[in-house]
Chains A and B, each alone.
Chain A
């Protein structure tokens, strides 16, 4: 080890190795034990990592830590099955484990990624609720603990535990399988996987309640997961590339999203010199790969918008006309409040605050948007830009009353001052 290298950078003990392997060990053991025994597979993955923690401090990190972990996990599965009084039922699994010869490295690596993928497809199964999918993807796909998920999703630990218990029960009750979807079913099933990843990312990017608005840990885990899917031969389809590009652009400016006190910083106020240029370059290259498909997914459009922001020299010099066009297309397929509001912002930046305000008036007549704090915050900004400060204050006050997180409230307080 060279001086000054962080421990996590040494070969063999790469950053996030344990989180990644927690997911992969669970995936491999779940395939061998059957999806109905996902809980046992998780326990074995955890116990395997705990063994490493007991042994490696004395013996050193093995030359091939991944192979070490998987060998130990296989032994633990064998032990568990032997001690299981109902082991007759699992005899095939036992034979398979005992007889499977160690695979050559390349094939082993492929098998690991495939197992992980099967598990992800199951975790994001349409039969599971959105909460179940998000927590399962975070737990089994990313190796986050229940505490970390609870912190990331800003829920009670017991709530997260209950979601997981119910999810595992439903997997058993509905007999969800760990089979790879048939080739023609992959795009549709992949869509739910990508949606679960994006949902989990957004929980990290913009927490829905509480005192911290950004959870970088959740964001970076989802970026790593999206990267693995983008590199995989089955899942590396254009929408996956687009999602990976989108998350890359977002992560490039993760550090500037809040100030040192945890206060939200608007895109206009972020220090662009601190954006991660290497990540932006990677995002642009990925977006180019995403452009090979014949279908324009929502992630393509969102990544296109994020790319415009990432390459703009300043907030005012951003290509707002292009961004508005992207939002026009997005609203055609998904007229969500956030997309419609962002389109108004792009329009106002391209054509002036008065044009934005007249578009906003249309949104305000929509009952679903009346209680949406960002709508009122946006109106406040546009009114302020139009020089109508008294009306702006009323709008900011309304937004403040509706805001959900402390940093959002602090931010609006500043706008009011």
Chain B
């Protein structure tokens, strides 16, 4: 088994127009999806990243600079991640496909990256 990082991107503003009942239903879908992974021992952990832009620290040739970013201007931000276990890329992609984050109309995307083992 290998470990994969699922990076869930979305537009933080896109949820604001949903009705309370729709929001609760969608939370229920994520919950069921995560519980399915946990029941099969495929979920290591998951976390939400705080909204708003982060900080970028880089060397500009003369000194280390700090700026906001990297997502201050982009519409899609990484909202959070799931660290999961899967046999291979194909299996990890299948799990990502079944995530409510990419349900019809969700406007979200999931980046799937394998964790380097050695």
Closest residue of B by beta carbon distance from A6? B28
A47 to B101: give the CA distance in the assembly, Å: 19
CB contacts (< 8 Å) of B48 on chain A: these are: 54-55, 57-59
Evaluate contact between A13 and B18: CB separation under 8 angstroms.
no
CB contacts (< 8 Å) of A52 on chain B: these are: 23, 27
Determine whether A129 belongs to the interface, using a CB cutoff of 8 Å to chain B. no
Determine whether B21 belongs to the interface, using a CB cutoff of 8 Å to chain A. yes
A47 to B18: give the CA distance in the assembly, Å: 10
A122-151 vs B: 1/0 string, CB under 8 Å? 000000000000000000000111011000
CB contacts (< 8 Å) of A53 on chain B: these are: 15, 18, 23, 26-27
Evaluate contact between B21 and A54: CB separation under 8 angstroms.
no
CB contacts (< 8 Å) of A49 on chain B: these are: 20, 23
A49 to B82: give the CA distance in the assembly, Å: 22
Determine whether B34 belongs to the interface, using a CB cutoff of 8 Å to chain A. yes
Number of A-B contacts (CB under 8 A): 85
Determine whether B55 belongs to the interface, using a CB cutoff of 8 Å to chain A. no
Given A18-B20, A145-B19: A59 and B31 interface contact (C-beta under 8 Å): no
Evaluate contact between B21 and A16: CB separation under 8 angstroms.
yes
A116 to chain B, nearest CB (A): 14
A16 to B25: give the CA distance in the assembly, Å: 10
A145 to B101: give the CA distance in the assembly, Å: 22
Closest residue of B by beta carbon distance from A8? B28
CB contacts (< 8 Å) of B22 on chain A: these are: 145
Determine whether B51 belongs to the interface, using a CB cutoff of 8 Å to chain A. yes
Secondary structure at the A interface, as helix, strand, loop or mixed, is helix
Evaluate contact between B15 and A57: CB separation under 8 angstroms.
no
Determine whether A227 belongs to the interface, using a CB cutoff of 8 Å to chain B. no
Given A54-B15, A57-B31, A58-B47: A8 and B24 interface contact (C-beta under 8 Å): yes
CB contacts (< 8 Å) of B16 on chain A: these are: 46-47, 50
Determine whether A22 belongs to the interface, using a CB cutoff of 8 Å to chain B. yes
Determine whether B41 belongs to the interface, using a CB cutoff of 8 Å to chain A. no
Evaluate contact between B20 and A145: CB separation under 8 angstroms.
yes
A80-94 vs B: 1/0 string, CB under 8 Å? 000000000000000
A52-67 vs B: 1/0 string, CB under 8 Å? 1111111111000000
Evaluate contact between A56 and B19: CB separation under 8 angstroms.
no
Of the candidates A7, A50, A60, A143, the one whose C-beta lies within 8 Å of that of B28 is A7
Kindly state the interface size class of chain A when it binds its partner. Answer: 20 to 34
Of the candidates A1, A54, A148, the one whose C-beta lies within 8 Å of that of B19 is A148
A1-45 vs B: 1/0 string, CB under 8 Å? 100000110100100111101100000000000000000000000
Evaluate contact between A50 and B23: CB separation under 8 angstroms.
yes
CB contacts (< 8 Å) of B32 on chain A: these are: 7
Closest residue of B by beta carbon distance from A19? B20
Evaluate contact between A1 and B35: CB separation under 8 angstroms.
yes
CB contacts (< 8 Å) of A7 on chain B: these are: 28-29, 31-32
A56 to B33: give the CA distance in the assembly, Å: 13
Known: A53-B26, A143-B19. 14 other contacts (CB 8 A): A7-B31, A8-B24, A13-B27, A18-B20, A19-B20, A22-B20, A46-B20, A47-B16, A50-B16, A54-B48, A54-B79, A55-B48, A56-B31, A57-B27
Taking Cβ atoms with an 8 Å cutoff, the residues of A that contact B are 1, 7-8, 10, 13, 16-19, 21-22, 46-47, 49-50, 52-61, 143-145, 147-148
Taking Cβ atoms with an 8 Å cutoff, the residues of B that contact A are 12, 15-16, 18-24, 26-32, 34-35, 46-48, 51, 79-82, 100-101
